[in-house]
Amino acid sequence: MKISLVRGDITEQQVDAVVNAANSSLLGGGGVDGAIHRRGGPAILDECRKLRASHYGGGLPTGQAVATTGGRLPARWVIHTVGPVYSASDDRSGQLASCYRESLRVADELGAASVAFPAVSAGIYGWPMDDAARIAVETVRSTPTQVSDTRFVLFTPDAYTAFERAVGT
């Protein structure tokens, strides 16, 4: 699997699927989630509402992933995953790793060959960027998948630098 880093906007990525750092409601929010919903348009929200009504009335559980259309995004699909809120006293790293594993599992089910990931949980959920990058890269590298092109799309210079260290470039 090819792993690359991109400094930029995940909503502009020409990939089969983008991963959304969603909140459990699946109904949009701030950060990456809000940007994906705004750029992708109402088709994404419509599918999220249907998923919520049929399967996730209480919200998508942390560490799980589900796919919708990409709407008006260049990507065909959006894979929504709910990252854990960081806690210094409660190790939730397994939940964070699950976000990446489950997203790759969904990508395989879709037949996606290329996937763009944000730094899940490293924004308003407060995960320290270096640790989030390490968990993301280690998990993606160790997860069996048919995805051949994985990219981490980082919005800030600090995030990009943390992922560079994790990738070892």
Amino acid at 161: T
Q: What is residue 59's predicted lDDT score, i.e. its pLDDT?
A: 87
List, in sequence order, every residue forming a beta bridge with 82; answer none if it has no partner. 22
The yes-or-no answer on residue 108 being catalytic is no
Q: Which CATH architecture has domain 2-167?
A: 3-Layer(aba) Sandwich (3.40)
Segment 111-151, tens digit of pLDDT: 999 999 999 999 999 999 999 999 999 999 999 999 999 99
Q: What is residue 144's predicted lDDT score, i.e. its pLDDT?
A: 98
Closest CA to 138 of 96, 166, 107: 166
Token representation of residue 103: 């997203």
Closest CA to 19 of 124, 111, 119, 137: 119
List, in sequence order, every residue forming a beta bridge with 115; answer none if it has no partner. 17, 150
Q: What is residue 78's predicted lDDT score, i.e. its pLDDT?
A: 98
At 58, is the pLDDT very low, low, confident or very high (cuts 50, 70, 90)? Answer: confident
Q: What is residue 169's predicted lDDT score, i.e. its pLDDT?
A: 57
Residue 14 C-alpha from the chain's centroid: 15
* Domain coordinates in residue numbering, the chain: 2-167
Average pLDDT, the chain: 96
Q: Could you tell me what percent of the chain has a pLDDT over 70?
A: 99
At 56, is the pLDDT very low, low, confident or very high (cuts 50, 70, 90)? Answer: confident
pTM of structure = 0.96
Q: Considering Cα of 123, then 127, then 130, then 133, what sign does the dihedral take? A: negative
Q: Report the SS3 class of residue 74.
A: coil
Please, where are the H alpha helices in 55-153? 93-110, 129-142
pLDDT exceeds 90 at position 158: yes
Catalytic residue among 9, 16, 33, 90: 33
Q: What is residue 6's predicted lDDT score, i.e. its pLDDT?
A: 98
pLDDT exceeds 70 at position 91: yes
Taking the C-alpha atoms of residue 132 and residue 103, their distance in angstroms, rounded to an integer, is 16
